[in-house]
A and B are shown apart, each in its own frame.
Chain A
Amino acid sequence: MKVLAMEFQKIKRKGIFTTVAVLLGVQCLWGLYSFGNMNGEKLAQGWYQCLYHFPILNAIMMPIIIAVLASRLCDVEQKGQTFKLLETIIPAETLFHAKYLCGVIQVVAITVFQVLMILSFGVIKGFGGPIPWDKILFYLISTIGVHVTILLLQQVLSLHFSNQMVPLTLGLLGSLAGLFSMFLPKGIGKLLIWGYYGVMMRVGLNWDESTRISDFYYVPIDWLGVFLLVGMFLAIYIYGSRSFARKEW
């Protein structure tokens, strides 16, 4: 706990909370813009619209935000060359976990606020039908799952490379590939960590070419995707924590 508190002290006045607030502000504005003018048929499918569009928004924004977050947490040590010093005081694994937990708390907060925002939009605008609590709960858990897996990968990269250009560039490329994979067959998305925002989506879209009308529908949970994501998390965690503990600084 002390090491975790230290991590929060390190990011004090670093503008990380401002970044998070700006991010949520942008998402809120986007939501207001998209859902503000909804009426009739669109309002009736409001919950579907939210559960379809917010994962796309996450796929665009979150990987880069998470890469920035991880880079900020690790770069403070890279710049100050403090890893060796810290490892004489605390075990390397503890430092790794503290940095990771610090990032996890922030991405969980972002996701919880985002879900509260979706619920507020729904209640205020009067989306059709009851609140689909099960779908929203799955959205919350799966989104946190994808966020924390990407965060883990970015942290491992940011700790490995002293030059933060490499993890940020990889995050950018991954994000672009993940976004594209949402418009390709689902199997392709499962190959990429950044594509899991699409794999975990519980809403599908039927677009009628002749009438140009979109019709949303719920899809079952992709359990294979869930297991693959957990597998990826464990693989990155085992490799990342071990390589960090064994690294000579």
Chain B
Amino acid sequence: MLLKTIRAEQMKLKRSPVWLAFFFLPILPAIMGTFNYVQNINILDNYWYSLWTQHTLFTCYFFLPPTIGVYCSYLCRLEHTNHNWNSVMTLPVPIPYIYLSKLFTASVMVIATQVWVGILFIICGKLSNLPGPVPPELFEWLAYGMVGGIVICGVQLCLSLMIRSFAVPVGIAMIGGIGGVAALSKGAGAFYPYTLMSIGMRANSPGGPMICTPGQLLLSSAVFLVAFTGIAVLWLRNKDVMAS
């Protein structure tokens, strides 16, 4: 049944241009970040690691959360219009599957984005004639970034289910991303859903250790995902979303 629900979500997205946002978002920092890196090569002297910071710093903190917010709002948009919650909630589908299928669809997009970020990083590094091999930690950065990104998907989907507006959850995601800078500076990054992605991707210290241990990051992510799935399911069960 879950697979069928996921397939239904994929069908809803057919021929939708929403993936273009995730395609273009990493291209901008790749081009402009590489250009900035080449211009300041005397200051940014850590080669691949400096380039990684240029590619990911702003994107992780400020722009990926709202972009995921746009995607999640889009995933809920069809249900919010034309009283479609009535149809969805009367289908013989367990309520958690409705949320989980959307979460799976959003997560696939985050995974694809991370792969794209990795490809662009390697291409830009090679074009800039950086010495040495591609950092062996690249896969780890991308993998932990994916986990953090999926947590943001969980939060944003929950918000987009609750708030019928398309734009408001996007604004919340942006403020959440900025709040992440404060959470990180206060040492509370691992306890704040919007910072897990930047912690995982090691955006500001790619050469050094992670702010928290990988175990803490994974545990925190699991707790947030379970909590927001629970909240979303309870919301769908108890609130009158059907008649909206």
Q: Are A15 and B168 in touch, CB under 8 angstroms?
A: yes
Asked whether any CB of chain B lies closer than 8 Å to the CB of A44, the reply is no
Interface residues of B in 25-52 (CB under 8 A from A): 25, 28-29, 32-33, 35-36, 39, 42-43
A183 to B36, CA, bound (A): 7
Q: Are A169 and B21 in touch, CB under 8 angstroms?
A: yes
Q: Which residues of A contact B21 (CB under 8 A)?
A: 165, 169, 172-173
CB distance from A99 to the nearest CB of B (A): 15
Q: Are A68 and B168 in touch, CB under 8 angstroms?
A: yes
Interface residues of B in 68-82 (CB under 8 A from A): 70, 73-74, 77, 81
Give the secondary structure class of B's interface.
Answer: helix
Asked whether any CB of chain A lies closer than 8 Å to the CB of B20, the reply is yes
CB distance from B172 to the nearest CB of A (A): 9
Q: Are B175 and A175 in touch, CB under 8 angstroms?
A: no
Tally of contact residues, A, Cβ under 8 A = 36
Interface string of A201-228 (1 = CB under 8 A from B): 0000000010000000000000000000
Q: Which residues of B contact A72 (CB under 8 A)?
A: 165, 167-168
**Given known contacts A26-B175, A180-B58, is B168 in contact with A64 (CB within 8 Å)?**
no
Asked whether any CB of chain B lies closer than 8 Å to the CB of A123, the reply is no
Q: Are B167 and A168 in touch, CB under 8 angstroms?
A: yes
Q: Are A168 and B170 in touch, CB under 8 angstroms?
A: yes
Interface string of B53-67 (1 = CB under 8 A from A): 000001100110011
Nearest neighbor of A29 in chain B, beta-carbon distance: B182
Asked whether any CB of chain A lies closer than 8 Å to the CB of B24, the reply is yes
CB distance from B73 to the nearest CB of A (A): 7
A14 to B70, CA, bound (A): 19
Interface residues of A in 15-41 (CB under 8 A from B): 15, 19, 22-23, 26, 29-30, 33
Q: Which residues of A contact B36 (CB under 8 A)?
A: 180, 183-184
Residues of A within 8 A of B (CB): 14-15, 19, 22-23, 26, 29-30, 33, 60-61, 64-65, 67-68, 71-72, 75, 79, 163-166, 168-169, 172-173, 175-177, 179-181, 183-184, 209
Residues of B within 8 A of A (CB): 17-18, 20-21, 24-25, 28-29, 32-33, 35-36, 39, 42-43, 58-59, 62-63, 66-67, 70, 73-74, 77, 81, 165-168, 170-171, 174-175, 178-179, 182, 185
Q: Nearest 8 pairs between A and B by C-beta?
A: A180-B32, A71-B167, A68-B171, A68-B167, A169-B21, A164-B166, A64-B174, A176-B63
